[in-house]
Amino acid sequence: MGTRVGVLAIQGDFACHLKALYSIGASALEVRTAEELDQCSHLIIPGGESTTVGKLLQRFGLGEEIQSRARARMPIWGTCMGMIMMAARVEDSEQYSLGLLDITVKRNAFGRQVHSFEAPVQVEGVGEVTAVFIRAPVVTDVGSTQAIATFDGQVVAVRQDNLLGTSFHPELTGDTRLHEWFIKEIGSAQRG
């Protein structure tokens, strides 16, 4: 199979990720079923509402399929809510998560929607990006992951082999370097 990036499309801002992928000439697919996931080499779990997405992943059995693909070294990237869904631990919450990244996250760490903001963030391997934080989580315990970006002393991006998590929304800026890096660099972990 060639490179095809799936974007989880059951809720959230998946359309912006698809637009970013198409703009760099990547093959991309909206993923709502296990069959669609099977057609992908990579997966992006976009921002959205984590409680809702968790319930839908459980209801349709897609969560188990994503976990299975992660164990098989599929490159998976979670942005904002996607990082929450990938976390092993979510502070002050009993919500469902995939448990893929060995991290603890705190939801809405910078405040509610009205407190959304943009800021420059240095991402290891990519450079400085404009990070859009919308009800963004932070990583309060990096576990066995590698912190690759911080903002105001707090971890906002991590990498663990073939897995990537960012607190912010790179798909909203028009800067596609993180998408390119995910496909190329994180994708190379699949073969490593």
Q: Which of 40, 171, 180, 185 is catalytic?
A: 171
* Number of other CB atoms surrounding residue 92 within 10 Å: 7
Q: Is the distance from CB of 54 to CB of 96 less than 8 angstroms?
A: yes
Q: Which residue in the list 16, 17, 40, 80 is annotated as catalytic?
A: 80
d(CA 166, CA 149): 8
Asked if 40 is an active-site residue, the reply is no
| Contact in structure between 179 and 25 (CB atoms under 8 Å) | no
H or E element: which one contains 111? none
Measured distance CA(137)–CA(181) in Å, rounded: 22
Check: CB of residue 66 under 8 Å from CB of residue 39.
Answer: no
Dist CA 3 CA 5 (whole Å):
7
CA 95 to chain centre: 17
Burial of 150 (0-12, 13-18, 19+ CB in 10 A): middle
**Is 179 a catalytic site residue?**
no
Q: Is 124 in the active site?
A: no
Q: Are 6 and 28 in contact (CB under 8 A)?
A: yes
Q: Which of 65, 169, 179, 185 is catalytic?
A: 169
Catalytic residues, by residue number, are 80, 169, 171
